Amino acid sequence: MPGERILPYSSPAGTGTRPGGSRWLEDDGVVRAVVQRVRQADVSVDGEVVGSCRPEPGGQGLLVLLGVTHDDSPGSAERLAAKIWGLRILDGERSASDVGAPLLVVSQFTLYADTGRGRRPSWSAAAPREVSEPLVDHVVTALRDLGAHVETGVFGAMMQVSLVNDGPVTLVIDG
C-alpha cells in the first residue's frame, strides 16, 4: 500500500515483517486480553448459558476476556489470536493448539478502563461498538481458522462469567 512503513521483524514495537513474509503496519493498535487457564468456564445472559469451555475430564481450556481500543486493527486481532492459540500455559508447557483445548471468548470493554483520576473509571480508551464488535469477531474467526473450538458470550450484553481457574494461571496480553 502506498505510504505504508514496514519495519523489520525485530522491531520492539511489534510491527514489521514476520518470517515467511507476512506483514503488519506500524500503526496497528494492541488488542488486550486477559487469558485464564481453566478447568471449566461458562458465560450466561439472563440466566441462560450462551457459551462454555468444557475440556475433557481432567483437561484444561482457556477463558479469554477481550478488550478493543480505538486504533486496533484486523492485523492486531490476528496477532493476538495466534499468540493466545500458541501460549504454552497448559500442563506440560503445552499450548491450546498442541492439545486442541477449547476456548471461551468474552468481550470486555472494561479492560481499557482509565483509573488514573478519582474513583470513577473512564471508559474513553475502549473502542465504540462499531469498532470493537467486528474486531472481537475477527479474533474469534482467526482462532477458529487456526483450528480452535471457540464459544463466545453475547457482545454488549450484561453477562455473568463463572469459571474454575486452574493453577491459578492468569495472564494479561497486549497483542
115 is catalytic: no
36 is catalytic: no
155 is catalytic: no
- Catalytic site residue from 69, 109, 160, 170: 109
- Catalytic site residue from 69, 110, 152, 160: 110
Place of cell 475477527: 138
- Catalytic site residue from 36, 69, 108, 152: 108
Place of cell 503445552: 94
Nearest Cα to Cα of residue 133 among 35, 66, 45, 36: 66
Burial class (CB in 10 A: 0-12, 13-18, 19+), 65: buried
- What are the C-alpha distances in Å from 65 to residues 88, 110, 137? 18, 10, 13
Report how far residue 30's alpha carbon sits from residue 76's, in angstroms, rounded to the nearest whole number. Answer: 6
Place of cell 471508559: 123
User: From the CB of residue 86, how many other CB atoms can be counted at a distance below 10 Å?
Assistant: 12
Q: What angle do CA 26, 109, 120 make, to 5 degrees?
A: 115
Amino acid (1-letter code) at residue 144: R
- Catalogue the active-site residues: 108-110
